Amino acid sequence: MSLRNKFAARSSTCIQREDEPTGGPSSPGATQPGTSPAQGQPDFENSPLPAAMLAVAHGDSPETRRVLYESMLKTWFLVPTREAAADAPGFHDIQEGTAASFSLEHDSAGLLVAVAFTDEGALRNWHKTLPWIALQGTAFFQAVASTGAEEIVINPYDSGDPNSKMIRPGGRVTRWELEALAQGDIPQNQAEGPAAMHDSPQSVLVTMPTQMPAAEVFDALGATARKFADVVALYFAQVIYPDGEPHWTVAVEFTSGSSRKHVERAMAALTKEAERVFPTTVAADLLLASSALGQSIKTTGKKFYSVRRSGDRA
């Protein structure tokens, strides 16, 4: 199956499967799902994915998960590239090296990830100048699957930039999920057959609650963290598990080389403080920012406490 691409502008490329409707000259008056009838190009502002992610955040269920994955198969994703596309506007046969142009990133744990966005505003919130191409649904996941990316990070923002903040729901798509989506399939959390029932990968959605904790909650946790020299940052997000309720989660970042004793002492104090200040009606967790889930929270959550060391870069 070949791919074709359409340039929505000279700085952006829109790529789709050749057997999908293009909304171009070959089908007058027709537009593809997720395109703007007026312009015949992706209608990023009305992407179904942000609403689907919020629906899972507000009520995780097999139905909302199904809608989430189906939305991913319809969504146009903006993917940052290392260089701007050189082709003229119009339809072209896509080159095999398209995925090689992706600007893959290493997260702070060293994991190679692809980053993607639901609209240009979300992309510019993360990076002001990188060019991008847009791919829809299966074509997007097929392209990412051909790279070495282990996960896809959707709508990240730069937690180190005070002018950058979460403006869209975000999360991560694991390798097993993106491989299923690349086949046009809905990922299944429950593997069939007794041999595959243990250690089945589970996905989580990292987002923000509709009602954020009060500022006093963050202040209290920050005051506790300040008592421990090894704690350098705290991050907050809401984590939705496939079969569980939403958890308010704090990821704790320590200095490199912190001893186990110091880490355990700080985590115990922060856990005790979280139990005191978080509402009793909310499930809450603390975890290390160095863990896989902690890295997700660092990427898409809110940094509410940090300290600058003398050796840190400005």
- Say if residue 248 is in the same domain as residue 295: yes
Task: Work out the mean pLDDT of the chain and round it to a whole number.
Answer: 75
Same domain? For 120 and 254 the reply is no
Residues 57 and 133 both lie in one domain: yes
Same domain membership, residue 247 and residue 162 = no
Please indicate, yes or no, whether residues 286 and 228 belong to a single structural domain of this protein: yes
pLDDT score at 112: 85
d(CA 284, CA 236): 11
One domain for residues 40 and 101? yes
Closest CA to 70 of 157, 186, 166, 173: 186
Could you tell me the residue range of the domain that residue 264 belongs to? 205-306
126 plus 170 within the same structural domain: yes
Higher pLDDT, 154 or 189: 154
Q: How far is CA 112 from CA 106, 150, 174, 175, in A?
A: 5, 6, 12, 11
Q: Tell me how far apart the alpha carbons of residues 181 and 139 are, in angstroms, rounded to a whole number.
A: 9
pLDDT value of residue 268: 92
pLDDT digits (tens, 9 = 90+) for 172-228: 888 899 999 999 999 886 433 322 222 333 456 777 887 889 999 999 999 999 999
* Residue where one domain finishes, among candidates 150, 182, 214: 182
Span 45-64, average pLDDT: 81
Least confident of 75-79, 230-234, 250-254: 75-79
Q: Are strands 132-136 and 76-80 parallel, antiparallel or unpaired?
A: antiparallel
Asked which of 98-102, 141-145, 246-250 is least confident by mean pLDDT, the reply is 98-102
- Domain identity same for 110 and 212: no
Q: Are residues 33 and 146 in the same domain?
A: yes
CB 115 within 8 A of CB 80: yes
pLDDT digits (tens, 9 = 90+) for 70-86: 999 999 999 888 777 65
**What's the average model confidence in pLDDT over 57-67?**
81
Which sign does the torsion angle of CA 34, 37, 41, 44 carry? negative
CATH of the domain at 270: 3.30.460
Residue 90 gets the label, from left (phi > 0), alpha (psi -120 to 50) or beta, of: left
Q: Check whether residue 97 and residue 226 sit in a common domain.
A: no
Separation of alpha carbons 60 and 31, rounded Å: 32
pLDDT for the residue numbered 306: 93
User: 270 in a domain, yes or no?
Assistant: yes
Q: Are residues 173 and 245 in the same domain?
A: no
| 118 shares its domain with 153 | yes
Q: Looking at residue 205, what is its pLDDT?
A: 72
Global pTM reads: 0.56
Q: Based on the structure, what is the number of domains in the chain?
A: 2
Q: Using pLDDT thresholds of 50, 70 and 90, give the confidence band for residue 16.
A: very low
Task: Specify if 311 maps to a domain.
Answer: no
CA distance 175 to 147: 11
189 is a domain residue: no
Distance CA 271, CA 250 (A): 9
Identify whether 37 is part of a domain: yes
Is the pLDDT higher at 200 or at 268?
268
Q: For 280-293, what is each residue's pLDDT tens digit?
A: 888 888 999 988 78
- For 163, list phi and psi in degrees, rounded to 5: -90, -5
Query: Is 313 a domain residue?
Result: no
Does residue 277 fall inside a structural domain?
yes
What single-letter DSSP state applies at residue 46? G
